[in-house]
Amino acid sequence: MMTAKNYSQDFLSHRQSISSDPPYGNRRDALRDAPRQLKRRARKFVGLPASDDVGTLSSLITFLKYTAEGHLDQHPVTAAIAATPHLIALYAEDLIDAFEYSGLQYLPTPVHSKLVYETGPAYAGCGFGLCSDYKNSTACRAEERNMTLETVSVILYTRSVLTVTFTITRGAYYAYEPPTRRVEDFTLGSNARSKYPDEDDYWERVFTTLGQTMQDKHWPTPRKVLLMGESVHDQFFMTVLEAALRSIGGVELPEVWGEEPVFVAARGAAEMAKRAMYNGENAKLAGDDVDLGEWELDAGSGRLDECALACLEEEMADIESVEEL
């Protein structure tokens, strides 16, 4: 059984510094990181999590795994896709090792072999960006290549954090998310309202954060706004959001999608997980009668083949050309 996991900022914390992790930019980085990698392998060899961070993540993953199995009449969960936020200290190697320590297979998607940021799963969870015939990779690939570029803002508002991500996406898998159009603010969660002497100051900061992230003279305004988190339907927040959307201009207000905001990214990741077994090295999970088409994976490296890489480069070139609008 495959499932999905959505990691909220409530459970993850920043490290004080950013360390190198595979893949490395050059040989020097690899040599510098060798002692840390050796320590990780030694810990795994004796049955320990690769690091303390891996142990923390695996505890969360194991809890979610058992919870999911409880809802499935104890049917075992063996593989999953994780939808993750943009956190400066969340590393793919930690997440993959945490999955392994928890007894789960970490599923790649046709495009992502490591971290899958939650904007794509949220888009898929709202019913967008996925092909209709996912069991036929060639037909699925053709359909996804013809999907229209769309500008989307994804907003996560929980008790502990406000995040806003502007993305240009072609379907659920291809997304260009400029670093200058993202914000993760742990001082603007809904619980922070009580820390402001004047609550109007809090909402002014929320308004400014929303507006500045969604509006830029060099970029088109979002056509859709996707809402996530347990606090997004707060009456005051929705009022401020509407005001921010009106302030960014445009002929029409963007469509706002907020159905089941706590689970929408996990729902999209679950759909991706279901489809992942029809792609490349995961196809054996679905049986023998699977058309891999252009999504053939190298079983040794887990990388996309040359055709798929060329197609991906074409897609990203199309996306980046939007900067000229």
What's the rounded mean pLDDT across residues 196-201? 92
pLDDT digits (tens, 9 = 90+) for 240-286: 999 999 888 766 789 999 999 999 999 999 999 888 877 654 444 44
To the nearest whole percent, how much of the chain has pLDDT over 90?
A: 43
What's the rounded mean pLDDT across residues 168-190? 89
Which regions of the chain does DSSP assign to beta strands (E)?
2-6, 79-84, 105-106, 116-117, 150-157, 162-170, 174-176, 182-185, 224-228, 255-257
Q: Amino acid identity, residue 53?
A: D
DSSP letter at 297 equals B
pLDDT tier at 52, thresholds 50, 70, 90: very high
What's the rounded mean pLDDT across residues 226-246? 95
pLDDT tier at 142, thresholds 50, 70, 90: confident
* pLDDT (0 to 100) of residue 278: 76
3-class DSSP state for residue 291? strand
What is 99-122 written as a DSSP string?
HHHTT-EE---SS-SS-EETHHHH
**Selected residue with higher pLDDT from 220 and 228:** 228
What's the rounded mean pLDDT across residues 212-223? 79
Break the chain into its structural domains and give their ranges: 1-106, 128-325
Measured CA to CA, the distance from residue 311 to residue 320 in angstroms comes to 14
Lowest mean pLDDT among 50-64, 71-85, 232-246: 71-85
CATH T-level fold of 128-325 = Nucleotidyltransferase; domain 5 (3.30.420)
The strand pair at 224-228 and 255-257 is best described as parallel
